C-alpha cells in the first residue's frame, strides 16, 4: 500500500494548500489506493522521519521499498503509472513534464514569496517596498502563462500532471484577488478544481484538519 505523510494540523490559511494535497490529487486521478501517516508538530524533525524526508517537510512517499520526497517528483512518479496524468505519446509526455517544472520553478517562486509576505511579514516595514515588486512579478508570470495557454482549456489540450501542479500553484493566490484580473486563468483553475479527483483529495485533507480541531 502506498503511504504518504501529512501534517495532522496546520493554520487555517494553509489548509487546502499543504503540498501533500498535490500527491493526494495525483493518486486520486490515477485511481491508486493509499494511506496517510499523520504527523504531529515536531515529528517531522525526528531522525526516523528524516530518513524518509531529509528536510523534515511533507509529503514523504513510500511504495514498497521505494521512498520519495518533493511533491513534483512524487506526482511525476505517480503519473508514470497512469494514463490519466500523462499523454500516451512520447512528445506529449515530455511537454507535460515540462509544465510540471514550469509550475514549480517559474510560476510558484514569486507566488510563494507573495504569500509569505502576506501571511508572515505583512507588518514588517521592509514589506511595504518589497510587496509591490513581488506582485508585479506574479502578474508578469500570470500574463505569460495566459498567453502560453492561448485559449486552451488545459496546458496541452487535455488534463495532465502539468495542469495538476500548475492549478495547485495558482491556489496559493486564494487570499488575493489577483487571479480575477486574468479571467482565463481563473476559469482554468476552476476547471481543474471541478474534477472529481480534486474534490476527493481536498475533502480528505480537510477532513483530517477537522478531526484534529
CATH number of the domain encompassing residue 144: 1.20.1050.10
Contact predicate 110/59, CB 8 Å: no
Give domain status of residue 155, yes or no: yes
Phi, psi torsion values for 119, nearest 5 degrees: -90, -30
Cell output for 82: 497512469
Kindly report the three-state secondary structure assignment for every residue of the chain: CEEEEEECCCCHHHCCCCCHHHHHHHHHHHCCCEEEEEECCCHHHCHHHHCCCCCCCCCEEEECCEEEECHHHHHHHHHCCCCCCCCCCHHHHHHHHHHHHHHHHHHHHHHHHHHHHHHHCCCCHHHHHHHHHHHHHHHHHHHHHHHHHCCCCCCCCCCCHHHHHHHHHHHHHHHCCHHHHCHHHHHHHHHHHCCHHHHHHHHHHHHHHHHHC
Residue 18 and residue 73 share a domain: yes
Residue 101 and residue 181 share a domain: yes
Cα separation, 176 vs 24, in Å, equals 25
Q: How many Cβ atoms are within 10 Å of 37's Cβ, its own excluded?
A: 17
Residue 150 falls in which region: left (phi positive, over 0), alpha (psi -120 to 50) or beta = left
Q: How many Cβ atoms are within 10 Å of 81's Cβ, its own excluded?
A: 16
Position 208 scores a pLDDT of 86
Residue 157 and residue 120 share a domain: yes
Residue 34 and residue 107 share a domain: no
Position 160 scores a pLDDT of 98
Cα separation, 182 vs 207, in Å, equals 31
**Cis status of the peptide bond prior to 74, with omega within 30 of 0:** no
Domain of residue 75, residue span: 2-84+197-207
Position 58 scores a pLDDT of 97
Position 213 scores a pLDDT of 67
Residue 94 and residue 70 share a domain: no
Give domain status of residue 213, yes or no: no
Q: How many domains does the chain have?
A: 2
Give domain status of residue 189, yes or no: yes
The pTM assigned to this predicted structure is: 0.95
Residue ranges of the chain whose pLDDT lies below 70: 213
Residue 182 and residue 96 share a domain: yes
Residue 77 and residue 110 share a domain: no
Residue 79 and residue 173 share a domain: no
Contacts of 153 (CB under 8 A, 6+ apart): 188, 191
Give domain status of residue 178, yes or no: yes
Amino acid at each position: 500500500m502506498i503511504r504518504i505523510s501529512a501534517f495532522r494540523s496546520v493554520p487555517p490559511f494553509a489548509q487546502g494548500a499543504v503540498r501533500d494535497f498535490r500527491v493526494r490529487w495525483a493518486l486520486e486521478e490515477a485511481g491508486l489506493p493509499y494511506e496517510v501517516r499523520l504527523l504531529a508538530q515536531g515529528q517531522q524533525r525526528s531522525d526516523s522521519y528524516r530518513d524518509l524526508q531529509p528536510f523534515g517537510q511533507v509529503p514523504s512517499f513510500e511504495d514498497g521499498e521505494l521512498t520519495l520526497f518533493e511533491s513534483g517528483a512524487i506526482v511525476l512518479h505517480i503519473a508514470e503509472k497512469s494514463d490519466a496524468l500523462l499523454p500516451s505519446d512520447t512528445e506529449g509526455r515530455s511537454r507535460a513534464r515540462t509544465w510540471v517544472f514550469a509550475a514549480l520553478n517559474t510560476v510558484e517562486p514569486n507566488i510563494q514569496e507573495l504569500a509569505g509576505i502576506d501571511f508572515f511579514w505583512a507588518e514588517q516595514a521592509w514589506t511595504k517596498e518589497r510587496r509591490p515588486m513581488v506582485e508585479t512579478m506574479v502578474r508578469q508570470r500570470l500574463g505569460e502563462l495566459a498567453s502560453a495557454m492561448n485559449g486552451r482549456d488545459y496546458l496541452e489540450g487535455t488534463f495532465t500532471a502539468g495542469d495538476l501542479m500548475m492549478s495547485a500553484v495558482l491556489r496559493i493566490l486564494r487570499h488575493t484577488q489577483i487571479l480575477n484580473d486574468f479571467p482565463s486563468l481563473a476559469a482554468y483553475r476552476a476547471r481543474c478544481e471541478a474534477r472529481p479527483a480534486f474534490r476527493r483529495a481536498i475533502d480528505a485533507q480537510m477532513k483530517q484538519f477537522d478531526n484534529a480541531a
